[in-house]
Amino acid sequence: MHTLGELARILDAELVGGDANQPVDGMGTIQSATATQMTFLANPRYRSYLEQTRAAVVLLQEDQREFCPVPALIVKDPYLSFAKASALFEVAPQAQPGIHPAAVVADSAVVAATASIGPNAVIDADAQIGEGAVVMANAVIGAGSIIGENCRIWPNVTIYHGVTVGPRTIIHANSVLGADGFGFAFNGAGWTKVHQVGGVRIGADVEIGAGTTIDRGAIDDTVIGNGAILDNQIQVAHNVIIGDHTALAGKVGIAGSSKIGSYCLLGGAVGVSGHIEICDKVQVLGMTLVSSSITKPGTYGSALPADEQRRYQKNVARFRNLDDLARRVRKLERLSD
């Protein structure tokens, strides 16, 4: 429970038309917010919703103030202010410091006094769990791995040996850090495994979604930069390097040894081939294949969008003969010269 006055102070906002003592106990959308919930208007196209909102308070820009029928908090970037305020209304349960009696912690592991180790979590030999870190139920932390201060490791996460996770990083459920990279040498009859002796280094303030896998390096480490955000079901192969503050949407796959710059945005299910580089500030649209290096900031795409089956199939058939079509056009051009 927070008051409008507290919100104004925390967000460095001007409170308009409201009582500073009025309580706010949650968040809602501009359509659904109740009289005790905060909401925001980021997109002026939703002004009609603003005019009908019943929220306790709306975060909005100065120029929308006149259209707001309820108290408003005037800010420069309503969505960013909303993000800041959202931490006040988090619904995830608080973890209790201490080691649950059903956890299994190796004698040589070092667990900070304020850390929380959940039931059936397993902390292997020589692992280190930092102050305020939370390792939730049934998660496994491998031998010698280091979990930084105030990290949160959700249930059923598996962290192998030799993985380092920076402070305040969040790893969602059932993700896997440090499994063997996919390294094999063909021996004429089959595959000889290249044992993967590198590790994984995750920066500070990273968020990793559920069901994401980040392999250990073959020799050197796989590296995720500070402040990077990774969605669910992402695959990061061995020796990939991802720059600071880069955002990867769900189902992105990055093959071995590729390097992604800082402040990049990769859309859903983008695939990046191995051994290439993407420079800083590159945006890639969803389902694109990046098969060669990108050296110039900008936006890139490759996926064809859905079409009605009949037209789709006709066009696909033509695509299979596109080279032939181009040759025929060249021939016509020669004739017309």
Among 100, 202, 240, 264, binds a copy of itself (CB under 8 A): 100
Subset of 223-252 contacting a copy of itself (CB under 8 A): 227, 229, 231-233, 235, 237, 244-245, 247, 249-251
Q: Does 1 bind a copy of itself (CB under 8 A)?
A: no
Q: Does 43 bind a copy of itself (CB under 8 A)?
A: no
The residue among 29, 10, 8, 11 whose CA lies nearest residue 19 is 8
Looking at beta carbons only, is 66 or 190 nearer to a copy of itself? 190
Q: Does 287 bind a copy of itself (CB under 8 A)?
A: yes
Retrieve residue 154's tokens: 């959700």
Q: Does 317 bind a copy of itself (CB under 8 A)?
A: yes
Q: Does 86 bind a copy of itself (CB under 8 A)?
A: yes
Among 156, 164, 169, 222, binds a copy of itself (CB under 8 A): 156
Tell me the catalytic residues.
238
**CA–CA distance from 58 to each of 75, 76, 89 (Å)?**
10, 13, 15
Q: Please, which residues bridge with residue 166 across strands?
A: none
Looking at beta carbons only, is 63 or 93 nearer to a copy of itself? 93
Q: Does 132 bind a copy of itself (CB under 8 A)?
A: no
> Which segment (7-15, 53-61, 109-117, 294-302) binds a copy of itself by CB under 8 A?
294-302
Looking at beta carbons only, is 35 or 304 nearer to a copy of itself? 304
Looking at beta carbons only, is 3 or 273 nearer to a copy of itself? 273
The residue among 6, 20, 18 whose CA lies nearest residue 89 is 6
Phi, psi of 12 (to 5 degrees): 55, 50
Q: Does 269 bind a copy of itself (CB under 8 A)?
A: yes
Three-state DSSP class for residue 188: coil
Among 57, 74, 136, 260, binds a copy of itself (CB under 8 A): 136
The residue among 176, 188, 215, 182 whose CA lies nearest residue 199 is 215
Retrieve residue 289's tokens: 């294949």
Binding mask 45-84 for a copy of itself (x = CB under 8 A): --------------------------------x-xx-xxx
Residue 124 neighbours by CB distance under 10 Å: 19
The answer to whether residues 153 and 134 touch, using CB atoms and an 8 Å cutoff, is: yes
Q: How far is the CB of 239 from a copy of itself (least distance, A)?
A: 9
Tell me how far the alpha carbon of residue 187 is from its chain's centroid: 39
Tell me how far the alpha carbon of residue 80 is from its chain's centroid: 17
Q: Does 275 bind a copy of itself (CB under 8 A)?
A: no
The answer to whether residues 168 and 149 touch, using CB atoms and an 8 Å cutoff, is: yes
The answer to whether residues 271 and 289 touch, using CB atoms and an 8 Å cutoff, is: yes
Q: Which residue has the tokens 């063997």?
A: 180
Among 128, 213, 222, 258, binds a copy of itself (CB under 8 A): 213
Among 54, 89, 131, 149, binds a copy of itself (CB under 8 A): 89
